[in-house]
Every structure is written in C-alpha cells, then in structure tokens.
Amino acid sequence: QVQLQESGPGLVKPSQTLSLTCTVSGGSISSGSYYWSWIRQPAGKGLEWIGRIYTSGSTNYNPSLKSRVTISVDTSKNQFSLKLSSVTAADTAVYYCARFVIAAAVGEYYFDYWGQGTLVTVSS
C-alpha cells in the first residue's frame, strides 16, 4: 500500500520561501508510470493544483503560480519537494502531495493516493 507523507515548517513569514517534502513509502517513486503532484486547499475552500513532476525531472506548473514554484524529485530518498517563493497570506493552506497515475495504453489518468496534508500558515 503506497503512502505519502508531507513534512515541513507549519509557519512561514511573508516574502519568504515555503518548502515542503513528500516522502513516498510502500513503493518506489521511480517505478511505474506516475506523476507526483502538489495540490493545496485554503481553509474552507476548494482544491488548487500547483504542479507535477515525473521521475525524469520533467515538470509542469499551474500558470497562476509558475513564477514562484519549483518542484523537484530525489529518487534516492523516495521524495519529491515543493518550493514556493515570495509567499503572502494568500498562500496559507493545507498542502497535499498526491500520486497521479498515467496508464496511457488504457487511457487512465487520475489521482489515486494522497497524503494527509500539512497546514502551512503565512504570518509574521
């Protein structure tokens, strides 16, 4: 059973960089056809996709955040990470990491496993 766990500071000061790591257990981050994604959810609001990375290092980001986002992968640690720069109070949210299945041969694309989420508050 694949499990994902987010970790990182719960409090970040405005204008600083938010840094989170997602540790994958129960399977290799390099195996199979998956994208590894970050999604966030402000309190009481809906979900916003931040970006994704393939184990090759190829990335795609939401244009609304692209100038501030970097997602990277460390296959030796079975982890992938998120950095969001120049944060403001609007970046306060629960941040989720999730696995996205790519099964092109059968036309299946979907998020199957999610981490529990970690609350990041931007405040001085």
Partner 1 sequence: DIVMTQTPLSSPVTLGQPASISCRSSQSLVHSDGNTYLSWLQQRPGQPPRLLIYKISNRFSGVPDRFSGSGAGTDFTLKISRVEAEDVGVYYCTQATQFPWTFGQGTKVEIK
Q: Which is nearer to partner 1, 14 or 42 (CB)?
A: 42
Binding status of residue 54 toward partner 1 by CB under 8 A: no
**Burial (CB count within 10 angstroms: exposed 0-12, middle 13-18, buried 19+), residue 20:** buried
Say how many residues touch partner 1, by CB under 8 A. Answer: 22
Q: What one-character DSSP code corresponds to residue 96? A: E
Which one of 21, 33, 62, 85 is in contact with partner 1 (CB under 8 A)?
62
**Burial (CB count within 10 angstroms: exposed 0-12, middle 13-18, buried 19+), residue 48:** middle
Binding status of residue 33 toward partner 1 by CB under 8 A: no
Binding status of residue 49 toward partner 1 by CB under 8 A: yes
Q: Which is nearer to partner 1, 76 or 105 (CB)?
A: 105
